[in-house]
Structure 1
Amino acid sequence: MARPIKETPVLKGKDAERFAERMETVGRASAKEIEEARKAYEAFKAISTFPM
């Protein structure tokens, strides 16, 4: 039988401030990161046995 999922903890104090700052300054992925993600996707797609 599956275990129950615990509640997500609430961020407080410095952790909350740091999280908010990082969410405001999220940048775009570089061309290299995008290409690596595409290659990984294609590799998993090639070995998958379910329809995609």
Structure 2
Amino acid sequence: MAKPIKNTPTLTGRDARRFVDNMNKNRNSRQAPEDYNRQKAVYEKYKNGFAL
């Protein structure tokens, strides 16, 4: 029988502030076009390779 999944604890204090700061810092950051194109090529390769 599977074990029940526990609830995720709520962030409080410094952990919560650090999480919000990281979210705000990365909100408008963009991935470099070279990285995006490389990852998209890998995705397309696997998508086409595993199609039924």
| TM-score, scaled to structure 2 | 0.72
Equivalence map 1:1-52=2 (5 Å): 1-26=1-26, 27-50=29-52
Moved more, 34-43 or 3-12: 3-12
Instruction: Mark the CA change 1:38 to 1:19 in structure 2 (over 3 Å): closer, same or farther.
Output: same
Gaps of 5+ in 2: none
Please give the per-residue CA displacement for 1:30-52, whole angstroms capped at 9, x wherever unaligned: 112211220121121122134xx
CA distance in 2, matches of 1:9, 1:19: 14
Alpha-carbon distance between aligned partners in 2 of 1:38 and 1:12, rounded to the nearest angstrom: 37
Unmatched 5+ stretches in structure 1: none
Distance 1:38 1:45 in 2: 10
Task: Count residues with an aligned counterpart.
Answer: 50
The alignment-based identity, stated in percent, is 36
State the Cα deviation string for residues 4-36 of structure 1 (Å, max 9, x = none): 322112111111111100111111111122112
